[in-house]
Every structure is written in structure tokens, then in C-alpha cells.
Structure 1
Amino acid sequence: MQDIIKQAAKDIFSAKKAVALTGAGISVESGIPPFRGKGGIWEKFDPMTFGHIDTFEKNPAQVWKILIKDLKEIIDQAKPNDGHKGLAVLEKMGILKTIITQNVDGLHQMAGNTDVIEFHGNCAWQRCMDCGRKIKTAEVDISVMPPRCQCSGILRPDWVFFGESIPMASLHRSQQIASACDLMLVIGTSAIVQPAAYMPVIAKENGAKIIEINPEATPLTGKISAYLVKGKAGQVMNEILKEMEQLI
């Protein structure tokens, strides 16, 4: 294990234009449950019902009560863990340029990363469906359902519901960044949800080295990634940064 940590530290330290692709696994350590998989939110609720824009538009109060309210309370309390903080350190070092994330919790920005592409939007902010005003989720009054903007419009998470398209600007920029990087860290994602899962493929096809940090193997392992560092994101990032200190 220590040999692969040393290799990862060396590869990251040598990168000139590294990017990271992150998924729910990096935020689980901050107490945020994943949407998919064991213990995920979609085990409790039907995603095509409570996660669909049609349901929200027909009955926003119901979706707020069943899904968004509890998630808001979790995210309000969540703090960046060592995985998030480690990526922020890599940015400060000038190595990591951009994060492409499937997460909606805003923890990368809270940790200090400044260039974060959010494929699925952000639950840390709510958007008025009438005037478009954005309000921090932590500041939203949920004593009345559904919560409303000062213009009386209904507030909705600034995320992508099922039935909505990923912002084309985010997709195009992610493709451009993936094709131009020389190293991509794939952290906490099963790499099965498209189009995010295709970013490592684009990166590899353009000559980048792909390093996975995940507890288990994924469809990328042994095919797209150069190697897999098994473990939790926070612990692995701490070990990698410790090795990088020796290189410095």
C-alpha cells in the first residue's frame, strides 16, 4: 500500500495541469449520504417520483417535506473532510486546476477550491422559480412549505432534477478540461453515471494519467486508470500529501 501511495505522490507532484473528478464517496465522510448505492437516498424514495422535476412542479411542498428538507438539514451541518481539504491544498500548490464534481453539497468550495464545475448543480443554494434570485440554503425559512422567495415565488434547489438537462456549458467545459489535463484524480465515484463517467476516458485518450482513489474497484480499474489507491478519500489524501512533503 505504501508503495502505491508513494507512486501517487510522485505522479501528482510531477503534474502540470491536474484535475479531479469527484463523486458521492468523497462527501460520505462528511456525513452526507450518497443518492445511489447501499444506504443511499434512493433506497428510501423513488428517484423518478420525488427526484423528478415534474413531481416538484406539481407538488413542491411534498417534495420539500419528503426529500429536500432532510437533505437541507444534513448539508447545513456538513463540513469539508480531509479529502476535500487535500484537494484544496493541491490547488494552493498550483498542481490542481479544476474539480469536476457530481456532488451537490458545495463542500469543495467551502474547503477552498475556486474552480469547481458542478455537473448536477448545488443544493447549498436555492433558486426562485419566478425571479431567479439565489438564496443560501442555510438561510431559507422552512417553517412554511414550500419555502418562498421575497417575491413570493417558490424556491427550488439549484440542482439538476431528473427530467432536466445538465447545463451544456458545464458539460462542454468539462470535456475541454479533461482533454487538456495531464493527470486526473478520480475520487469517490463509481464511474457509471454519464456523462461524468466519460471524462476519465477523454483524459486518457488525450494522454493523461488517471489515478483512482476509491474503496473498491470501478469500471475504470485496470482499463482506464493507471492504478487504484484503495481507501477512503480523506485518509488516502492525507497519506499522499505527507509523501509529497518529502518530495518538496
Structure 2
Amino acid sequence: MRVVVFSGAGISAESGMPTFRDEDDGLWSRYDPYEVSSIDGWNRNPELVWGWYLWHQQLASRIEPNSGHRAIGDWEQHVDVQVVTQNVDDLHERAGSSIVHHVHGDMFVFRCTACTKPYTEPLPQLTEPVLELAPPVCECGGLIRPDVVWFGEDLPEVPWNAAIEAIDNADVLVVVGTSGVVYPAAGLPERALAQGKTVVEINPEETPLTAKATVSLRTTASAALPGMAQRLPFLLG
């Protein structure tokens, strides 16, 4: 059986990873989240965006995968699993998932805004959040940025095509921790449903997908995912 897990910010939030919509430390509370998640925000104030991402990248490196992440990694002992994620952290990989398609990029990868050359030099280590920090400069003169997808940018072609292929070849799609409102990624469950595939939604809150899903559970990833691999065949019956 081939299973695809489509994950969003909710599963990482269970590990303590702040989201754009739920920044609870207050430091960035006076800024519109769009300012740190859009290409327009970067062009207006790269120091603010760089400071935000560098702090959250280092925060993510200290956060541990939760039982939901680990369950998905463990599923590989029972079924063929691929992960398609909107998250830019590496929690799925650290929890044991071997195939992860990051359709919104990877905050642990950096590149030049001008020449796109990868940047692998050491980065400043932050012990506390910094509101504004000057980004490094590439040898070509361009500013270094995280290799993530901001609002106003296209999705990376390779992981996006891999995600579509995974969906098209899946028997079951498990959608976990995503609000289902950020397109085009939010269209992946709709693609699966249009092909007649079984779609299982796991989210504490109702989403636009809830009424369409084959099964929709009002619970968290940590509560629902452990042990679910053994039950997935029954959903196909």
C-alpha cells in the first residue's frame, strides 16, 4: 500500500514551533506576518526577514519531533510512505521519514538572491531573538536568503512535481495539521479526491477539506497517528 502524508504547520506546532499565525513570544507581534513571509517584505526590509528566519531556523534545530512525526517515520516499517510537507523545518527527516518533499522550501538551506549560488558559510548563533540583522552578502554582491517560498513566489518545480507524482500514485492520502487555505499546495487533497482516492484528514479544527474528506478526525497528529498504519488498509475496504 502506498501512503502519502500531506503535513502543515499544525504538526510542527505540537513540537513547539511557532507559526506565522500564532507567534506567541510577542517580539514580532507589532509586524504584519506578511512582512516576514513575502517577497515584498524581504524587498522592503531584508534585515527584519533575515532576523526572523535565522532565529526560527535555530529554534527549529532545538525542537524535537513529536510522536506524530515519529509515527509517520515508523510507518515505513509497514507501508510505502512519502511525505509532502508545507513546513520548512526538518522534523520529518529527524523523525525517520526517508522521502520528504518540501513544497515550500527548506529553512536550513540558504542561497544568493542574485546568482542563486548555495551559501554554506557559518551563520551567527543567536541566543535570543533579534528584530533586525543584516543578511550575509554573496561574493557576487547579492544578499543571502533562506531557500523558502514566500508569498509572491512560485513553488520550486522539482519538489512540486514530485508531490504531484506521489499523490497520483498513492492509495491513501493522510492530511495532517494544515488549514487547507494556502494554494496551490492546498489543492493537492482536492486532486486526490478527484481521482477517487481515500483522503483522511486529521486536524483539531474544521477546515475547507473537512466536508469532502473520506474520514475527518477532530484530533491532533500526536493523538491520531501512532498506530494508524495498521488501520489504513481498512479505510481502503
1:218 paired to 2:203 = no
Identify which of 175, 179, 184 aligns with 1:190: 179
Match of 1:175, SS state, is helix
> Contact 1:18–1:95 (CA<8 Å) still a contact in 2?
yes
> Contact 1:23–1:187 (CA<8 Å) still a contact in 2?
yes
> Higher helix proportion, which one?
1
1:140 paired to 2:123 = yes
Letter in structure 2 aligned against 1:227: V
Question: 2:34 maps to which residue?
Answer: 48
> Contact 1:188–1:233 (CA<8 Å) still a contact in 2?
yes
Percent sequence identity is: 33
TM-score by length of structure 2 reads 0.81
- What RMSD over aligned residues (CA atoms) do the two structures have, in Å? 2.9
Bigger drift between 79-88 and 43-52 goes to 43-52
5 Å-filtered alignment, 1:60-99, equals 60-65=46-51, 67-96=52-81, 98-99=82-83
239 and 113 in structure 1: CA distance in 2 versus 1, 3 angstrom threshold: closer
Question: 2:99 maps to which residue?
Answer: 115
> Contact 1:213–1:230 (CA<8 Å) still a contact in 2?
yes
CA displacement at 1:44 relative to structure 2: 4.9
1:180 paired to 2:207 = no
1:234 paired to 2:225 = no
Question: 1:104 maps to which residue?
Answer: 88
Letter in structure 2 aligned against 1:194: Y
Bigger drift between 144-153 and 45-54 goes to 144-153
C-alpha distance in structure 1 between counterparts of 2:184 and 2:138, whole Å: 36
Structure 1 gaps, min length 5: 1-15
48 and 237 in structure 1: CA distance in 2 versus 1, 3 angstrom threshold: closer
1:204 paired to 2:193 = yes
C-alpha distance in structure 2 between counterparts of 1:48 and 1:56, whole Å: 10
C-alpha distance in structure 1 between counterparts of 2:7 and 2:133, whole Å: 32
Question: 1:6 maps to which residue?
Answer: none
> Contact 1:75–1:124 (CA<8 Å) still a contact in 2?
no
Identify which of 101, 105, 108 aligns with 1:124: 108
Letter in structure 1 aligned against 2:77: K
CA displacement at 1:149 relative to structure 2: 6.1
170 and 141 in structure 1: CA distance in 2 versus 1, 3 angstrom threshold: same
TM-score by length of structure 1 reads 0.78
> Contact 1:53–1:161 (CA<8 Å) still a contact in 2?
yes
C-alpha distance in structure 2 between counterparts of 1:64 and 1:222, whole Å: 39
CA displacement at 1:147 relative to structure 2: 3.9
Provide Cα deviations, 1:78-129, integer angstroms capped at 9, x if missing partner.
Answer: 1211111111111233331x11111111211121212111111011222233
What is the aligned residue count?
224
CA displacement at 1:204 relative to structure 2: 1.8
Letter in structure 2 aligned against 1:161: W
C-alpha distance in structure 2 between counterparts of 1:171 and 1:81, whole Å: 26
Bigger drift between 190-199 and 23-32 goes to 190-199
239 and 215 in structure 1: CA distance in 2 versus 1, 3 angstrom threshold: farther
> Contact 2:21–2:33 (CA<8 Å) still a contact in 1?
no
> Contact 2:3–2:79 (CA<8 Å) still a contact in 1?
no
